[in-house]
Structure 1
Amino acid sequence: MGYSVTDQSTVQTIGKYRILGTLGRGSMGVVYKALDPEIERVVAIKTLRKINPAGADTDTALERFRLEARSAGKIRHPNVITIFEVNIEGDLPYLVMDYVQGQSLADIIKSQGRIAPGFVIHLLKQAAAGIDAAHRCGVIHRDIKPRNMIVDSNKQLYVLDFGIASLDMTLGEIKSDKSRSTVMGTPGYMSPEQVLDEGVDYRTDIFSLAVVAFECFTGKRPFPGENFTEIVANILNAKPLALTSLAPDLPLALEADFERALSKNKDERFETAAEMIGCFEDSLRRAGKQILSKTGSPSARERKKSVWKSLSVVSEPSVRQISSREEANGSDGPGRSDYPVRSLISANPGVKKSESSYYGGPKKGATPGSIFQNSNYDLTDSSNIGYQSLSGMQVLILLFGVLCIFLGTYLLWIITEENSQLTGPGGEKVKVVAAAPGNAAVLTFPSEIDLKISPVDYDLPPASKAVHEMSSRELLGVLVSNSLPAGELVSALKEARRRKIPKLVNAVVHVLDNQSYLVRIEAVKILGELKDRRAVPKLVELLDDIDPLVRIKTAQSLGMLGSRKAIGYLTVRLSKEQLPGVKKAIKNAIEKINGFPLSK
């Protein structure tokens, strides 16, 4: 049966298999529907690119091809298409796989747009199970996408083409095709490390599955683009689209899960595909059972009930008509809505339907309140009155509203009652005085904050002693003397911070006036990390520093310290600052301390 394929459109047999038809064509080759004549089994055969077995390393590469083929063939899972055979016929490598009749997930997304959340979880749980099983066998897919997932008539999902990308890369080495990129995958679903061809591992597949999940929930990919360049640039540099902006009915918790799943740092992603889909399901379940109960097509989405309909009595034929309309619209199975109808006044067992002027709606000529003229209704009997209790969601909304009112009142009290001026450690007020136009604001303190260090607290080290060899007392002496070169002083600051030496805040304050902006930046950074508010009066002075980088870092540190007493000076400085970068840092510091954004 050996042959060399020259025109794959005229292929009748491959190996022992008889070709029944063509299923599809792709960048790697052609997929055929074929028959195994020995056991009368229908299979799918995927051909890969032809090889030219004339290279120097052909034997080594072919052996690697067979090893990878065996690895792919080891995967046995109900949600993974089984590979029965991998072989080379003449110059044509091919794989023989199980044939599954169904619809690709890509076609489902194309026809439906958004898929119901319950059905998405149902499908992706299966995909995750298959992908994790392959990872346990040491096989990375590298091309997870909706087109490589098939859903059969029983709603069982199968993942296709495990190991195909690795096999095709190996064939590229055999063919020595230097013009072909070794980066494998489909651009819209590739991970950042896959785009850069750096350290691809199992977490690449998890990233791609997250892209597939995002597309199922929203109908759009998280990193869009009109062409390859735009898509890749967004994958590498941009944040994913906001899930809730595309699907407002989905919870914010799910959007947070996607931020982790689509992290550009693979160490921050989920460890397994099953863990990721499990988190998605938990977020949906916490948002309400009604979201997960929607497993049908979005076209059969439940219509929101009118509150007013629940206040009228509907006759039995009307209920059947509603049910019939829902069935006609395709709302069946787990996603069906039964539209319960409630009565404001329940039927009195002693009254016939014909006797009630309200049953089935008011009669002609009825006047407001005529319903109560029927003496058979005992309005003192609570059994005749239907009460509609609050649902759990309504209770939560009510409690949330009360909490918002309380927090708003408390915030208003803070804004109006608490003085925003800076104070010293003893509670004394600090005056902020605006100077003449063009000059910086002036900050005056009634008394200096005591951050002095006594000579008995430190020692001066020998001139030749390295920073890492100094004792804590010697490090303190170096910082107080403020006389070392800038590089050594920065090292001393970092070492003192690492050791958390005594009187560290006192010592760091002494180097804030160093001539090197690098030393000042490092000192300001440390004061912010230490969160000792005694340093606030010293830090605010550096908002007038000549170097903009020092001013930016100072604003950031004041924001970290969170002292509302500094807001007065920050506000004055914000009005005087000219550089946009520094203004933004000061504005962010004020907003961080206040806990709410500044009004424009």
Structure 2
Amino acid sequence: MQSHFLTWIGKTLDSRYEIKSILANGGMGAVLLASDNHLHKEVVIKVPFLRNSNHFEELIQRFKREIHVLSILEHPNIVPIMDAGFFDEYPFLVLRYINDGTLRSKMEKARLQSNAYSLENFLHWLPQISSALDFIHSNNWFHRDVKPENILFDSNYNPYLTDFGVSKNLSFDHENLSRSVFGSFIGSPQYMAPEQHLGETITGKSDQFALAVIIYECISGKLPFSGINPVSIFLEITKQSVIPLKKHVEKIPLTISDAVMRALSLNPDQRFESCGDLCSIIIEELKLLDFHHDNNEYFHFHPIKVPHAPEVVDSQMVLEIQAFCLKLIASKTLTKNLYKDLRVSLAKFRKDEHLIAKMILDILDFYTMSGLIEPTNIVEIISEIKKIIPFLTITAEAGPSPS
């Protein structure tokens, strides 16, 4: 599919947009750089992946949703739509080209240079992005995928909110799920509020939660919920096992730390009434700091550490997990006894901080709500286990696979 869009380079869409290059490829579509031959400026062309897709209708609906949102929600800090059309049987969207990278790229640049992401930078983007979010919320829209990759900057450091493909309007959109029909999360798990993970009603406070995650990550260099898969992230968020921001950065003002932690509350009612309220507390406190002195007086940057599964897997642990899977297939239900038995058998591996053992137990906690229920979706459970141990010789339908 990506190679298909390579054939677009050099072609002109609607006798106007000459494709120059591919800026990005994602799971849902491609982002292309083009030259607008009418306005003589560079623009962005956004195209969904459609061919050979088993989820054609959902992809089309997401794309139509983004076009609709951008056409009605005009705000100085939302990337504006310029045009839309069809080419080679693909719908496309034309957006202003915001040319100075994302918040993520600026955070990564600071990390790679072992520097701080300056607290002063918040003064230049947090009020504007908070305003954009409050604006869409006042129109009964919710973004649902607020993250550093979706905050863009132009060459004057003006920030823009982008990517409304999974946004939601409660006035006419009755979807109430955290996942799409083809199983992928609607949103990015590390930034999703608890209610979004659970498929419950979302509000503007769900986007506020995501904004608080970004602020936490910018200040500390760490994600507050850094599980290694969606299951472990979900458990961390719902158990609220987040380290207070001030413990990462001792010299950060307590007022800022407390405000971010409040916006990360499990209960939406305990968060701020708006993103602007959260922003105001942070900005007012930052204005009291003297940025003419060394920024590290207030801030120490910690590189983000992403845990990885070990290359060598303990053979005894694999045998324990395979035996569990066979019992699971035979019983057709993840009973409380099976759940308890595997926790006991993997305890020695978990005590040694074996990452895979923790991941497997996280999966069981997710599907049983920490042992409270007995799920019957065995195929899905074993599929998740095999994502962690791909060479496990088990199939949910037929037991052990042929060697």
Q: TM-score range by the shorter chain?
A: 0.5 to 0.7
Q: 1:514-563: CA deviations, max 9, x gaps?
A: xxxxxxxxxxxxxxxxxxxxxxxxxxxxxxxxxxxxxxxxxxxxxxxxxx
Q: Residues of 2 paired with 1:126 and 1:138: CA distance?
A: 19
Q: Which residue of 1 aligns with 2:39?
A: 39
Are 2:2 and 2:25, in contact at CA under 8 Å, matched by a contact in 1?
no
Q: 1:247-292: CA deviations, max 9, x gaps?
A: 111122222212210111112212221111101223445xx432xx
Give matches, 1:377-526, under 5 Å: none
Question: Cα–Cα, structure 1 residues 34 and 155, in superposed 2: closer, same or farther, change >3 Å?
Answer: same
Question: Of residues 71, 74, 78 in structure 2, which corresponds to 1:73?
Answer: 71
Amino acid at match of 1:97: L
Does 2:11 correspond to 1:9? no
Q: Which residue of 1 aligns with 2:103?
A: 105
Does 2:195 correspond to 1:202? no
Question: Of residues 263, 275, 278 in structure 1, which corresponds to 2:277?
Answer: 275
Amino acid at match of 1:8: F
Does 2:138 correspond to 1:140? no
Q: Which residue of 2 aligns with 1:152?
A: 154
Taking every aligned residue pair, what percent have the same amino acid on both sides? 29
Are 1:243 and 1:255, in contact at CA under 8 Å, matched by a contact in 2?
yes
- Deviation of 1:43 after TM superposition, in Å, equals 0.8
Are 1:261 and 1:276, in contact at CA under 8 Å, matched by a contact in 2?
yes
- Deviation of 1:245 after TM superposition, in Å, equals 1.2
Q: Residues of 2 paired with 1:64 and 1:28: CA distance?
A: 9
Aligned-residue CA RMSD (Å): 3.4
Question: Cα–Cα, structure 1 residues 74 and 112, in superposed 2: closer, same or farther, change >3 Å?
Answer: same
Q: Which residue of 2 aligns with 1:301?
A: 295
Q: Residues of 1 paired with 2:182 and 2:292: CA distance?
A: 45
Q: Which residue of 2 aligns with 1:83?
A: 81
Question: 3-state SS of the aligned residue for 1:271?
Answer: coil
Question: Cα–Cα, structure 1 residues 251 and 204, in superposed 2: closer, same or farther, change >3 Å?
Answer: same
Question: Cα–Cα, structure 1 residues 201 and 15, in superposed 2: closer, same or farther, change >3 Å?
Answer: farther
Give unpaired runs (5+ residues) of structure 1.
168-172, 305-600
Question: 3-state SS of the aligned residue for 1:118?
Answer: helix
- Deviation of 1:165 after TM superposition, in Å, equals 1.6
Does 2:233 correspond to 1:239? no
Are 2:122 and 2:283, in contact at CA under 8 Å, matched by a contact in 1?
no
Q: Which residue of 2 aligns with 1:27?
A: 27
Question: 3-state SS of the aligned residue for 2:18?
Answer: strand
Are 1:71 and 1:138, in contact at CA under 8 Å, matched by a contact in 2?
no
Amino acid at match of 1:73: S
Amino acid at match of 1:96: V
Q: Residues of 2 paired with 1:24 and 1:54: CA distance?
A: 22
Q: 1:351-404: CA deviations, max 9, x gaps?
A: xxxxxxxxxxxxxxxxxxxxxxxxxxxxxxxxxxxxxxxxxxxxxxxxxxxxxx
Q: Which residue of 1 aligns with 2:132?
A: 130
Amino acid at match of 1:263: S
- Deviation of 1:184 after TM superposition, in Å, equals 0.8
Give the alignment's TM-score, normalised by structure 2: 0.62
Question: Cα–Cα, structure 1 residues 192 and 21, in superposed 2: closer, same or farther, change >3 Å?
Answer: same
Question: Cα–Cα, structure 1 residues 135 and 87, in superposed 2: closer, same or farther, change >3 Å?
Answer: farther
Are 1:117 and 1:294, in contact at CA under 8 Å, matched by a contact in 2?
no
Q: Residues of 2 paired with 1:178 and 1:155: CA distance?
A: 34
Amino acid at match of 1:160: T
Question: Cα–Cα, structure 1 residues 230 and 270, in superposed 2: closer, same or farther, change >3 Å?
Answer: same
Are 1:42 and 1:99, in contact at CA under 8 Å, matched by a contact in 2?
yes
Question: 3-state SS of the aligned residue for 2:149?
Answer: helix
Question: 3-state SS of the aligned residue for 1:103?
Answer: coil
Question: 3-state SS of the aligned residue for 2:142?
Answer: coil
Q: Which residue of 1 aligns with 2:92?
A: 94
Q: Residues of 1 paired with 2:41 and 2:121: CA distance?
A: 31
Amino acid at match of 1:250: I
Are 1:257 and 1:279, in contact at CA under 8 Å, matched by a contact in 2?
yes
Q: Residues of 2 paired with 1:150 and 1:178: CA distance?
A: 25
Q: 1:449-498: CA deviations, max 9, x gaps?
A: xxxxxxxxxxxxxxxxxxxxxxxxxxxxxxxxxxxxxxxxxxxxxxxxxx
Give matches, 1:169-188, under 5 Å: 180-181=182-183, 183-188=185-190
Q: 1:89-116: CA deviations, max 9, x gaps?
A: 4542322100011021111111214422
Are 1:116 and 1:294, in contact at CA under 8 Å, matched by a contact in 2?
no
Does 2:221 correspond to 1:219? yes
Question: 3-state SS of the aligned residue for 1:289?
Answer: coil
Amino acid at match of 2:159: L
Amino acid at match of 2:221: G
Are 2:180 and 2:186, in contact at CA under 8 Å, matched by a contact in 1?
no
Question: 3-state SS of the aligned residue for 1:123?
Answer: helix
Are 1:223 and 1:241, in contact at CA under 8 Å, matched by a contact in 2?
no
Question: Cα–Cα, structure 1 residues 294 and 45, in superposed 2: closer, same or farther, change >3 Å?
Answer: farther
Question: Of residues 184, 191, 197 in structure 2, which corresponds to 1:189?
Answer: 191
**Structure with the larger helix share:** 1
Question: 3-state SS of the aligned residue for 2:250?
Answer: coil
Give matches, 1:161-176, under 5 Å: 161=163, 163-166=164-167
Q: Which residue of 2 aligns with 1:421?
A: none
Are 1:31 and 1:46, in contact at CA under 8 Å, matched by a contact in 2?
yes
Q: Residues of 2 paired with 1:5 and 1:222: CA distance?
A: 34
- Deviation of 1:192 after TM superposition, in Å, equals 1.0
Q: Residues of 2 paired with 1:236 and 1:46: CA distance?
A: 35
Amino acid at match of 1:165: V
Question: 3-state SS of the aligned residue for 2:190?
Answer: helix
Higher radius of gyration, 1 or 2: 1
Q: Residues of 2 paired with 1:23 and 1:108: CA distance?
A: 17
Q: Residues of 2 paired with 1:26 and 1:40: CA distance?
A: 27
Question: 3-state SS of the aligned residue for 1:20?
Answer: strand
Q: Which residue of 2 aligns with 1:435?
A: none
Are 1:109 and 1:115, in contact at CA under 8 Å, matched by a contact in 2?
yes
Question: Cα–Cα, structure 1 residues 234 and 179, in superposed 2: closer, same or farther, change >3 Å?
Answer: same
Question: Cα–Cα, structure 1 residues 53 and 259, in superposed 2: closer, same or farther, change >3 Å?
Answer: closer
Give unpaired runs (5+ residues) of structure 2.
169-174, 299-403
Q: Residues of 2 paired with 1:32 and 1:61: CA distance?
A: 18
Structure number with higher relative contact order (C-alpha < 8 Å, ≥ 6 residues apart): 2
Question: Cα–Cα, structure 1 residues 45 and 138, in superposed 2: closer, same or farther, change >3 Å?
Answer: farther
- Deviation of 1:50 after TM superposition, in Å, equals 1.1
Q: Residues of 2 paired with 1:224 and 1:208: CA distance?
A: 14
**Structure with the larger strand share:** 2
